[in-house]
Structure 1
C-alpha cells in the first residue's frame, strides 16, 4: 500500500504526461479538443482514472472517447517510460461531468435570482393585512396623573401645597 501523498503526486504527473502525449504523439483524427481535467490513482498505484472534457457536440465526444480508448496502450507506455515506476498503472478514461453540472447549477441560480426579484417586487407593493403598525405602543400615564387622587397619609399639607404649586410629581 502506497502513501496517499505519493498516489496524489503520481496522479498529477500522469495527468501532465497524458496531456502532453495527447498533444504530441496521438494523431487520431477522431480526437477532438480534449482537456484532461483530473487524474486519480488508487493507493496501490495499480489503476489510474483520467477525467477529460471535450469541447464540441455529442458526436465529437463519442469520437474522442473512441480515440482515447484506442490510444490507451500508447499513452500507458508513455506513462511507464516517463514515470519510472515499477508497475505502470492501467488507464481508464472517464468523461468529466463537472462542466455540465456547473452549467446546470448556474442556470438554477439564475432562475432563483429571477424568482427572488419577482417576490421582492410583489413585496414592495404589498399592503399589510391588519394595521400598518401592528405593535402595541407603551401607554404614557404621566398625563393622567392627578394630585387629588393621591392618598395623603403623611399629613404634611404644606409640602403638598408646594408640590402642587410647582407641578412636581411626588413619589
Structure 2
C-alpha cells in the first residue's frame, strides 16, 4: 500500500515541479529543462528530482545553481499545491540517460556508415 502512495506522490511531484520550473521560476539562468523523473523516499522526506537540461556543461551547472537558489520557493509552491504533511527536501540531479542514449545512437550511426568499407 505504501509503495503505491510513494509512486503516486512521485508522479504528482514530477507534474507540479515541471509546471513550477517552467512557468513560475523567473531566473534567466534556467534554460530548457525537462523533469524526467522523481524518486521519493518511503517516508516522503526526500525527493530526488532527475532533470534533463539542454545546453553546454556550463549552462547545466548554472541551471543547477539557479534551481538550488530557488529550492525554497519551489518547496513553498509544492506545499500550496499538494496536500502533504511535510514537503519533501528536493535534491536535483542530472538524468544522463537521454545523453547516453543519443551518444549510443550516434555511435551506431557511425558504425553503420563505416561498416560497408570492408
TM-score > 0.5 by shorter chain: yes
Question: 1:67 aligns to what?
Answer: 66
The secondary structure found in structure 1 opposite 2:86 is coil
Question: 2:93 aligns to what?
Answer: 94
For 2:28 and 2:6, locate their aligned partners in 1 and report how far apart those are by CA, in whole Å: 32
Task: Specify which structure has the higher proportion of helix.
Answer: 2
For 2:116 and 2:78, locate their aligned partners in 1 and report how far apart those are by CA, in whole Å: 53
Structure of higher CA gyration radius: 1
Question: 1:55 aligns to what?
Answer: 54
The residue correspondences of 1:86-165 to structure 2 (distance < 5 A) are 86-114=85-113, 116-119=115-118
**1:80 and 2:79 correspond:** yes
Question: 1:134 aligns to what?
Answer: none
Q: Deviations over 1:18-59 (max 9, x none)?
A: 111112221111111111111111112111011111112222
For 2:13 and 2:81, locate their aligned partners in 1 and report how far apart those are by CA, in whole Å: 9
Displacement of 1:108 in angstroms is 2.8
Question: 1:13 aligns to what?
Answer: 12
For 2:51 and 2:86, locate their aligned partners in 1 and report how far apart those are by CA, in whole Å: 24
Displacement of 1:13 in angstroms is 0.5
Cα gap change, 1:23 to 1:107, in 2 (>3 Å): closer
Displacement of 1:3 in angstroms is 1.0
Query: What are structure 1's unaligned runs of at least 5 residues?
Result: 120-171
Displacement of 1:113 in angstroms is 2.8
Query: What are structure 2's unaligned runs of at least 5 residues?
Result: none
For 1:117 and 1:43, locate their aligned partners in 2 and report how far apart those are by CA, in whole Å: 52
The secondary structure found in structure 1 opposite 2:84 is coil
| Alignment size in residue pairs | 118
Task: Specify which structure has the higher proportion of strand.
Answer: 2
What is the alpha-carbon root mean square deviation over aligned residues?
Answer: 1.6
TM-score in terms of structure 1 length: 0.63
